[in-house]
Amino acid sequence: MIKKVYLLVIGIFISMSLSSCFDIVEEINMKSDGSGAIVGTLNMSKSRTKVSSLMKLDKIDGFKIPNQTEIRKQVTTLVQLLKNTKGISNVKYKLDFTNYIASISCDFQDVNALNAYTATLAKHFKSNLNTYSSYSYNSSNKTFVRSYKHNPEAKKEFDKLKPENQKSFDQAFYTSIYRFQQPVLKQSNASGKVSTNKQAVMIKVPIPTLINGKANLANTIVIK
């Protein structure tokens, strides 16, 4: 379940997040021609002591806890798949088993490649993520669009967790940051905040609100 819900960025330590607070951060740096770079980060440093203990277990709520070797193997496989994805280049990853922070980054040739990146993740983890989230960019009117719709399966799977494990998600957040080379003229998401220099938009929402369909990541951003 957890992999299906949180493939928005990275699925490395996710099966261990059942009893830990964590943050998922998606950063997209867009160039005026529609190319750019994306970084997906899963940060469990707030619960590193708990996560360290969890890694000594075999399962939690029926979910297998991967060891470091298994995690590295899975990431290596994913990186190779991304390297073979059309329009994707400069794929890199970082695994910090001291603070429990994982990230994957790459460059994309255009938004079609950015969507292909999402599709590659979805296929690898046997998820339908790419049917609920996608991107588009119109270079003529300088408009970047994040399309998003709630996945009802996420709530069904979340409801299967024990109450104490559901509560552990209260301190979990999803943050998306979109950076541009030109100033942002306007953005449509009610939770979106434009940076002081007007060249970035940030949305930060509690993950439970995403699971329950009470938050929306959709956004239309017009740049100068």
pLDDT of residue 129: 57
pLDDT of residue 36: 97
CA torsion angle for 72, 73, 78, 80 (degrees, to 10)?
A: 110
pLDDT of residue 4: 35
Instruction: Write out pLDDT tens, residues 187-198.
Output: 999 999 999 999
pLDDT at 146 over 70: yes
pLDDT at 7 over 70: no
Average pLDDT on 50-77 reads: 74
Average pLDDT on 214-220 reads: 94
pLDDT of residue 219: 97
CB 39 within 8 A of CB 105: yes
pLDDT at 14 over 80: no
Average pLDDT on 40-54 reads: 77
- Tally the C-alpha atoms within 13 A of residue 24's C-alpha that lie toward its C-beta: 22
pTM: 0.85
Type of residue at 36 = G
Average pLDDT on 29-56 reads: 84
Instruction: Write out pLDDT tens, residues 73-125.
Output: 888 888 999 999 999 999 999 999 888 888 999 999 999 999 998 888 777 77
pLDDT: which is higher, 164 or 171 = 171
pLDDT of residue 62: 63
pLDDT of residue 163: 78
C-beta neighbour count of 162 within 10 angstroms: 12
